[in-house]
A and B are shown apart, each in its own frame.
Chain A
Amino acid sequence: MQFKYDLEGGNFSRAGHASSEVKKILKQLNVDARIIKRIVVALYEGEVNVVAHAHKGVVMVDIDEKRIYIRIEDEGPGIPDINLAMQEGFSTASASVREMGFGAGMGLPNIKKNTDQLNIESEVGKGTVLEMTTMISS
């Protein structure tokens, strides 16, 4: 099964739209609630990052019996130093992002914690691709 959702930079009221849909789908597939939570928390943080840091993006989701694969691709400033960005507390978020309850530099580390496999590629001035794979059945 494949699904696709568009993300809009700067539009906080839409952040969480893709995660919400994916949560409904995984519930229908009877995936364990704790696994669903890990997947949608990671996706949600990824969505928030596009909204907070990039111009626009797209979420692609592919689900089979064993695993869920999610790819978040954005057009934006990119991440100059991924290792630094992965550190807890590192953030370049604006004051307005912090007023929304984000921008504490906990997003990427939390995405890492909640996915079985995470791959990040980024090109400064172009954009970022996050690939997350998580097993949904043993």
Chain B
Amino acid sequence: MKISEIVDVLNARVVCGSDKLNTEVRYAFASDLMSDVLTLDTENLMLVTGLANLQVIRTAEMADIFCVVFVRDKKATPEMKKIAEENNIVILESPYSMFRAVSVLHDCGLQPVY
């Protein structure tokens, strides 16, 4: 599904990367544990997380994750936004709980990693 559709179904705010909303996403992984995210070797992966700190963006950078969704209304800081922009990472903020966000995305056809 396209990032623009994800924005719609999650009622999300686009923090950065609004020029990349046409990109297709195939897989999603939901975790607050960056060490687990760093063990994945899936391509075309989106991260859904309730942890909002700079290390989440660094993790996305190293793991080639091009879209990060913060749930539970967690906010990206200006520094997180800056590093995401430098690395062409899209950041979305959704007011939904993790469970609700994940259910909606699954219903829309996003695939789990395992």
**Which positions in A face B, CB cutoff 8 Å?**
12-13, 15-16, 19-20, 23, 33-34, 37, 40-41, 44-45, 48, 100-107, 110, 113
The secondary structure that dominates the A interface is helix
B residues in contact with A102, CB < 8 Å: 33-35, 55
Majority DSSP secondary structure for residues of B touching A: helix
Residues of B23-52 contacting chain A, CB below 8 A? 32-36, 38-39, 41, 51
- Contact partners of B33 in chain A: CB under 8 A: 101-102, 104
Q: Chain A residues with Cβ under 8 A from B34's Cβ?
A: 100-102
CB proximity of B52 to chain A, nearest CB, Å: 10
6 examples of A-B residue contacts, CB within 8 angstroms: A37-B64, A40-B62, A101-B56, A104-B35, A104-B36, A106-B38
Q: Are B62 and A16 touching (Cβ within 8 A)?
A: yes
Q: Which B residues are within 8 Å of any A CB, using their own CB? A: 32-36, 38-39, 41, 51, 53-56, 58-59, 61-64, 79
Shortest C-beta distance, A108 to chain B (Å), equals 10
Once A101-B33, A101-B56, A102-B35 are accepted as A-B contacts, the answer to whether A37 and B51 lie under 8 Å apart by CB is no
User: Within the complex, what minimum Cβ distance (angstroms) separates B88 from chain A?
Assistant: 12
CA distance A45 to B35 in the complex (A): 8
In the complex, the chain A residue whose C-beta lies closest to that of B58 is A16
Contact of B62 among A37, A103, A106 (CB under 8 A): A37
Using CB atoms, name the residue of chain A closest to B86: A20
Known pairs A12-B54, A12-B55, A37-B41; A19 contacts B35 (CB<8 A)? no
